[in-house]
Amino acid sequence: MSEDYTIQGAPWNKFFDLTVIKKFKIFYPSLRRHQDEGFIARYVDKASRITFSNEILYTYYVNNLQKQWDKYPVDYIEAVNGLFNERKKIFYFGIRTIKLHIKRCILNIYAIL
């Protein structure tokens, strides 16, 4: 699989199906940092398909981010450990589901190419 395709990172560059979010009660974890990745991992675990597009669908402007950075913990290890524990919860219970999703994603990518 090409490294050009990724599902990690912020949610602002992704579209989500609200029916999936409501059906599986997907929510942002209570972390001080990396909440986005926790949400995306929960969503991907339940999504029936993932599609990648090269089409530009939004424009992102960077504002003064000082307020956002002020809420992050001083101890970065605490933040990373929180995300690790969140992922453990998701992946521990859904490893078979994740393997199926990965296979589907790979098939979808090849279908797009």
Question: DSSP letters along 32-48, please?
Answer: SS-HHHHHHHHHHHH-S
**Cβ pair 32, 73 in contact under 8 A:** yes
Tokens of 110: 């090849």
Tokens of 81: 């450990």
pLDDT value at 1 more than 60:
no
Query: Mean pLDDT, the chain, as a whole number?
Result: 75
pTM of structure: 0.53
Q: What is the C-alpha separation between 48 and 12, in angstroms, rounded?
A: 20
pLDDT value at 2 more than 70:
no
Nearest to 89 by CA among 22, 30, 9: 30
